Structure 1
């Protein structure tokens, strides 16, 4: 029976072997010796760089959404009470009822209400808004 050599087989470098193949072979040969340096560190660096790259994209997405939500026409702003008839900005708050006194008085006033007897009323919808009825 023939005796096998202890030396592992390596293909002879020829002109046909490209630079990429030689770099790949060197990488595969040194990977078991330094796994974190050659695999873990590049992986962690890609994750961190991706986080920094995606942060502005996410911020842009939320800014566009905020701009879309904040766009109100002048008529809508007038109907919602956000602008006065002369076009001045700012919300004018006219509360229906002020809380007078301390928290205990307000608590007892709310506790005196009869919460068991109530009637459900539908909210008046705007024109063109679906009311949920089938």
Structure 2
């Protein structure tokens, strides 16, 4: 009767059938000796490279979305009361109706500067019936 060896059979590197198998055997053998170099460093490199590659792609996605939202048809612009023309190659429609009412930024600045912001008093807002007013 044959006697079996107590050691497990581990094929040598040269006995692997293909180049991929040989590279895998070498990688697994060296992974326990140098874990950061063979696993951690490639992982961190892939994460950083992916971040730098995906940043412009994400920016492009949001720019296209903003451009699509900004396009307004002529009928919609008229119904919203917006100034501007659509279709002349200039899709810049003035979307701030408050600006026409207020005037310029300088007028608004001088209005705010004229107010006395140091002397003020706190007033409580009148509550509806049954609404708690926050007093204990």
TM-score (norm 1): 0.59
Report the number of matched residues: 109
RMSD (Å), alpha carbons: 3.9
Stretches (4+) displaced over 2 A: 7-10, 74-82, 87-92, 98-101, 103-108, 114-118
Unpaired stretches in structure 1, ≥5 consecutive residues: 119-134
Displacement after TM superposition at 1:75 (Å): 3.0
- The match for 1:18 is 18
Within a 5 Å distance, the mapping from 1:55-134 to structure 2 comes to 55-83=55-83, 90=94, 91=96, 93-95=100-102, 99=111, 101-104=114-117, 115-116=125-126
> Which structure's residues are more often helix, by fraction?
2
TM-score (norm 2): 0.58
Residues 74, 103 of structure 1: CA spacing in aligned structure 2 closer, same or farther, 3 A cutoff?
A: farther
Unpaired stretches in structure 2, ≥5 consecutive residues: 129-136
Higher relative contact order (CA 8 A, sep 6+): 2
